Structure formats: structure tokens, C-alpha cells
Structure 1
């Protein structure tokens, strides 16, 4: 039985995407487990490299598929969501996980699912602490990784996750809620219920990551969160939900994706709420605080002030000057002082140059050696 399908869409507009996904998949296939599937959806203009790679591997756990001549049209003219929707019916796993070509996901997610289902058989959404990795070419200077060291398995309540997501409770630069098929695992049965409830598709909008998050939190019967990282998101120095500005505006909500992650995620959430007729009150203050936190993630004073000015203008247009009362970002970084490295608040901070890793797969191999062994989770919970 295939427990997990890891889906990786590959687009021609992603620089080095084919080389990146080959690097990740080669490491995944080094795992001895036989209960996972890797499905590569090749939407690039040249499908030969990945087809050749799959043929050379000759591994039944790896499948490379392409819509054929229409693949480029599907990726460019439709949306990322359309590509995700095309892939899901071709999977054979009981659980589905989606990552991008520059990312990495550990097939030992299967071990976590086994340990979870043994104790919580009704679980239908699994999330974990994913790590971020800035590719060497995208670094403006020293990048410090921040990796959680905890290994507790938690069962958050749906009402708490809805507060964190839709009301931005305890949010940083984005909601403190990571459920969904993107860098998470969703049970097929839940995906089918989502499809039946929402326009007969699994994913919608230009940013299906947030779309999946909203739908999963609303419809999951039991969510499970493991503190340990099980995947790595490859970052190129741009907001993770960045969209063309022409596609990223919403009437009455003067934020754009170019402002940062908080704005980009909020735009997708507002579209989702409008689409479903969801009206909420009292979430605005949490979102405005998240905008301030987003400004504080800037790595330079120039970037900070540019982002702060853009957010301040949008908040004023949206809620007037009174909205700025909760918008008090501070640029705390001093470039003359070395950034903290070490263990603090159950997080390990270290230079991404460590071990000279050059990809998300190599970075995961490094942090995997530092953290609680995945295969010991079942014994720990016994």
C-alpha cells in the first residue's frame, strides 16, 4: 500500500527547477521505505531531462507525468492551482503532500503518519515545522537558519487553528498555522470532501497554498502537528506567495503581494472569504500587527523603510490613520553586530554556510543529523 504521495510540480519559469528537483528526488529515493510515491508533474517546455532521469532511476516509487503539448499552456494560462488539480488524481497514496521543485520533503513522513494513525486513527491532516533555506545565489549576506528542536506531537483544536488563521492570533509575518497539502500531508478522504464542497476542485486561486490552508482548517476532523521539521522550503529571497501585481489586487483591500508575505497571504484569505461568503469581525488588528512583523523581517534598513511605507499607506487607505495605532514596526538589526548563533527558546540558530550545503536536499540532510530521529517517534510515544 502507498501511504504517501509527494507531488512536485515543475515549471519552466523556475530557474534551475529541473536540476533542483533531480537533486531532491535522488536523495528521497535513497530512503529504503517502499510505501511512498514521488509524482513529478512536468509542466516545463522541455520534458526530456526529467523523463530521462526517471528512466535511469527505474524505481517504481518515482513517476514523471506531463499533460503533453498542453503542459506549457496549462502552467502559464491556467494557474498553479490548475496544475496541482491535474496532479492529484494521478496519485496513489492515502495521503497527499505538495512541495515545489526547489524544496525537499522527507519520505519518513510515512513513519510519522504510522505513529500518528496508531494513536489517532481519525487524523486527516498532518503538519510539521518546516525549515527555510535561502539558496546561496539569493543571499544578500550571512543567512542564519532558525530550526526548531522540539519533538512533541500535538493535537491542536480546530477553534484554536481558526483563531490563528482567520484572526491572525499570535501571528508573526504570517499566520501561525501551517495545515494544508503544501508542506503538509492531507488525507485523500479529506481532499475529496474539499473537492465536493468547493466547485469540484481541490485547489483554487492563484496561491493554492493559502487556499489549501483555509479549506483544511475549516474541514479537517482532526489535525496533528509535529514540532520537528520534515521538509525544507527553498527560498529565493522573494515573498513565498508572490504573484504578478496585475493579478494581486482586490477591491476595497489596498494591499499588494509585493509588500510582503503578510499582504500576499491576506489577499488570498480575503478572496477565499468572499468566495465562501464568510464575514468576520475583529481580525483586522491581528493582521495589522502581522504587517509590522513582516516589516521587521527586512534584512536592510532600506528594505525595512520601503516595506514600512508601503504597508502604512495601504493601512491608512483601508482603515484610516486610526489603523496605524497598531502598526509600530522597529528595525532592530545592527549590521555591525554579529547575528545570534546558538540555542534559544528551543530553536537552533546557525549559519546557513555550515557544511557548505547548496540545495534544500543537502540542507535537510544536515539538519536531519542534528534533530530527534524520525524513526524513534513511535517508541517515544509508546
Structure 2
């Protein structure tokens, strides 16, 4: 029986995808599968790799269709091909530990109603995405928590924390979801698993609404990679980001429009940020499916101010500030404009790059470790975190 299906969508980043495939194939775990959804312009690279250089029955390749698919449709077709009890999606420049199957089996025994599992994640920049060495983050705790659904929903739907990113964590992207839950979602939400172009957060909206139980493990099981061609890398350059947003919108034509007239913070604006794109997604979902948004406008204003407080370059600060001001002026006739009162920019500065441990996180300079890929970084980090076998043993004390 296949315990875990890992979906690996990719588009024109074949060299990173191949590295990720090779890393996953090194695992001795047998009861998982990897489904690679190639949406690239050149199908020959991955098809040639699978036919000539790579033979592993745990992996399947689904090639490009006769047109470029929106990302949401590429995800859709992959989930439809899965055979596992649990499903997960990662990026082609990421990594996930197939030993996650041990955690899933463990939670199935002690939390039989669990339908969505989240865990801590590591962050890693590929060597081609390090203009200046930053910090990689390794979570070092390992406890398990049962989430209160009402609190998690409040954090995502209404942004109750007021942070630039809602800290939810539950979803199919770098999270595990029961296949049975995804099928229920498909039946309830218009015959599709996914609808919105910002597919990861839209999926989280549905999953935290429908899951019977949400379980979180503090131990990390995956790495969020960022290569030079990634969207996160694109945010470091306004020109690059504008080009990628334009391509994203063109590929998603016919789907939900991210330039939403009801929530007037368009992603095509030069001052747009990830904060606004997430808010646009959650706002669309709640309006579409009748979820109470009381408190969302005030909390989003706090989130926008939090976004600005972390902006370290004055030109970027002023661009984002003007963007948010235009949005709040237009939103419901300026009803929420007074809620947006950001502090002045307080100087060009760099982020803290000191290594060390702070609040269950180990911070390591990217130029200190020899890691060249997310998988190598994960193996480096395993020396600092609890072995998975101990986490799933149920024991509370350990000795060497």
C-alpha cells in the first residue's frame, strides 16, 4: 500500500527538478510514490532523463499537454493521479524526507480522525540565489500539537495575528492531507481540488475548513528551497517580479482574476507584495463561500504595516506604501483607510546575519555549510534535530 504520494509540479526548471528526484530516490522507504508533472516548454529533458538515466518504480512522469497549463491546473492533474493514503505537494527546488511516512502512520494510530498534518520547515537558498549570504533556519523542537480549528481559521481567513503572512501551516503544500479529504473537497467545491491561481493558500483555506482534525509536529520534515528561477528569488528584483507576474497572469487567463475589483490590491501593480496576493486569495475564498470576514480589513491593515516594517530599502518602502494607500483609498470607499497608519521608514539596513539558537530555531549562515542542494542541507540539519524514529516512538526521554 502506498502511504504517501508526493506531487512534484515543474515548469522550465528541469535541472533543479532532476536534483530533487535524485535526492528523493536515495531514500530506502518503499511505500511512497512521486508523481512529476512536467509543464515545461521542452518535454525532452525530463522524458529523456526518465527513459535513459533513471529507473525507479516509485516515480512516475506526466508530460506536458499541448498547451502550457496554469499552475493550478498542473496541480489539479497531479492530485488526480495519486494512489497514496496521504498527499503532499512540494516545489521542484524543494526537498521532503520520505521517512515522513513513519510520522503519518504514527499519527494515524493515535489520532485516527487526523486529516491534515503540518510540520516545521527549513529554508534554503540554492548557491545561485545568494547575492549575499543570508541565514538558513533549522527548527530544533519536536513536540506534537493538536490545532484548534477555530483559531487556525481566524488566523487565515481574518488574519487575526496581523502579521504579513498568516502563520497557518496546514495545507497540501509542504503538508500532508488525507486523500479522502481531498476527494470530499472536490465534491463540495465545484468538482475541482483547486480553483484559485494562488493554489497553495487557496488549498489551505479549504483544508482548514473541512478537515476533521489538524495535527502539527514541530520537527521539520521538508525544506523550502529557493533557486534563482524561483518566485521568492524574483521578489528581490522589481523588474524580475514584474516579468514573472505578467507571465503568471497570462498563463492563468480564464481562472480567478488576481486583479480583483472587490479587493483593490492588484498583483500587477509595481508595489504589490506577497502579503497582498495572499490576502486577495483568502478574501476571494471567504466571499465566494460565505465565510464571515469580520475583523479582516483592520487586521489586513496591520499586516500591511508589518510588511512595511520589514522593508529594508527606502525605495521599496515608498513603492509599497503608495500601493497600500491606493488600495485602502479604493477599498469600500476608503472605509478602512484610517486603519493603515504605517511608521516612517527608519533607514536602510541589512538583516541580522549572526548564527546561533533563538527560541527553538538554529540560524546558520548559508556560506558556512557545504550544502549545495536542499537535500544536502536537510542531511546536515539532521545532526541537530530529533531522529524521526524517536519522534514516532512516543517516548518522552532519550539517551545516547
- Tell me the TM-score normalised to structure 1 length: 0.89
C-alpha deviation, 1:332, in angstroms: 6.6
Matching residue of 2:134: 143
Distance 1:54 1:196, change over 3 A: same
Alignment of 1:351 onto 2:361:
no
Q: How far 1:98 moved relative to its partner? A: 0.7
For 1:367 and 1:65, locate their aligned partners in 2 and report how far apart those are by CA, in whole Å.
Answer: 32
Task: Determine which of 104, 108, 114 is the counterpart of 1:117.
Answer: 108
Tell which deviates more after alignment, 248-257 or 261-270: 248-257
Q: Partners of 1:336 and 1:188 in 2: how far apart?
A: 43
CA contact (8 A) 2:35 2:82 kept: yes
Instruction: Tell me if structure 1 keeps the 8 A contact 2:160–2:295.
Output: no
Greater CA drift, 211-220 or 146-155: 146-155
Q: Displacement, 1:326?
A: 4.9
Shift of 1:381: 4.6
How many equivalent residue pairs?
372
Gaps of 5+ in 1: none
1:256 aligns with 2:292: no
**Match in the other structure for 1:85:** 76
Cα distance in structure 2, aligned partners of 1:174 and 1:337: 18
**RMSD of the TM alignment (CA)?**
2.5
Other-structure match for 2:99: 108
For 2:392, what is the secondary structure of its paired residue? helix
Cα shift at 1:41? 0.9
- Indicate the residue corresponding to 1:286 in structure 2: 299
For 2:145 and 2:128, the matched residues in 1 are separated by 36
2:3 matches 1:3: yes
Q: Deviations over 1:332-356 (max 9, x none)?
A: 7764785332111222122122224
Task: Give yes or no for the alignment of 1:38 onto 2:48.
Answer: no
Q: Distance in 2 between matches of 1:301 and 1:137?
A: 26
Cα deviation for residue 298 of structure 1 reads 2.9
Identify the structure with the greater helix proportion.
Answer: 1
In structure 2, which of residues 256, 274, 288 is the aligned counterpart of residue 275 of structure 1?
A: 288
Deviation digits for residues 147-205 of structure 1, max 9, x if unmatched? Answer: 32211111101111111111112243211101111111110000000000001010111
Change (3 A) 1:331 1:347: farther
Alignment CA distance shift 1:149-1:316 (3 Å): farther
Asked if residue 51 in structure 1 is aligned to residue 42 in structure 2, the reply is no
User: What's the counterpart of residue 254 of structure 2?
Assistant: none
1:297 correspondence with 2:297: no
Q: Distance in 1 between matches of 2:338 and 2:387?
A: 46
Q: Which of 153, 157, 172 is the aligned partner of 2:163? A: 172
- Asked whether 1:266 is paired with 2:279, we answer yes
Q: Please point out which of 181, 201, 206 is paired with 1:210.
A: 201
1:61-87 superposed Cα distances (whole Å, 9 cap, x missing partner)? 11112255x2xx142xxx211111111
Q: TM-score, normalised by structure 2?
A: 0.85
Moved more, 112-121 or 293-302: 293-302
Q: Alpha carbons of 1:376 and 1:158: their partners in 2 closer, same or farther (altered >3 Å)?
A: same
Q: 1:113, 1:329 → 2: CA distance?
A: 45
